[in-house]
């Protein structure tokens, strides 16, 4: 069975801290790994990674994929209260258009 596991499930830090969120996967036919941010509404797309070792960056957020060890990390530097959200990791599969989602990491940034 295809599986995506995120850790930690919950994280509370202070504004200005740097956080690292983890996503590991066991799937039959990997094609891509995606990160989404979910605040109070729908998940919004952050990154899609397909190649190992190539960092994707957007402002204070960055992500990298390791296809040998089957994991990805999402880094957020100089966190702000607006970064508080659930961060979802999902894996896209070869031969199917669907995504397999992890259970999410609930990140809380305290002022």
Partner 1 sequence: DAGVIQSPRHEVTEMGQEVTLRCKPISGHDYLFWYRQTMMRGLELLIYFNNNVPIDDSGMPEDRFSAKMPNASFSTLKIQPSEPRDSAVYFCASSSRRGGRDTQYFGPGTRLTVL
Output the six-digit token pair for 12.
């509370």
What minimum distance in Å lies between the beta carbon of 38 and partner 1?
A: 9
Q: How far apart are CA 1 and CA 21, in angstroms?
A: 23
* Least distance CB 48 / partner 1 (angstroms): 6
Other C-beta atoms within 10 Å of 39: how many? 12
50 or 75: CB nearest partner 1 = 50
Q: Report, in Å, the least distance between residue 68 CB and partner 1.
A: 21
Which residues are near partner 1 by CB under 8 A? Answer: 31-32, 34, 41-45, 48, 88, 92, 96-104
Question: Least Å distance between CB 19 and partner 1?
Answer: 20
First to last CA, the chain: 41
Give 96's strand partners: none
Comparison of 63 and 79: residue with beta carbon closer to partner 1: 63
Reported as type and span, the H/E element at residue 38 is strand 30-38
Q: Which is nearer to partner 1, 30 or 71 (CB)?
A: 30
Identify the residue whose tokens are 């992890």: 102
Q: Which is nearer to partner 1, 45 or 81 (CB)?
A: 45
């Amino acid at each position: 069975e295809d599986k995506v596991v995120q850790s930690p499930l919950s994280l509370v830090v202070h504004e200005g801290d740097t956080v690292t969120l983890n996503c590991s996967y066991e799937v039959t036919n990997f094609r891509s790994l995606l990160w989404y941010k979910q605040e109070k509404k729908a998940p919004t797309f952050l990154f899609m990674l397909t190649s190992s070792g190539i960092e994707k960056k957007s402002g204070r957020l960055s992500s990298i994929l390791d296809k040998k060890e089957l994991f990805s990390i999402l880094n957020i530097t100089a966190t702000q209260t607006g970064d508080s959200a659930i961060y979802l990791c999902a894996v896209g599969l070869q031969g199917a258009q669907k995504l397999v989602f992890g259970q999410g990491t609930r990140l809380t940034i305290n002022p």
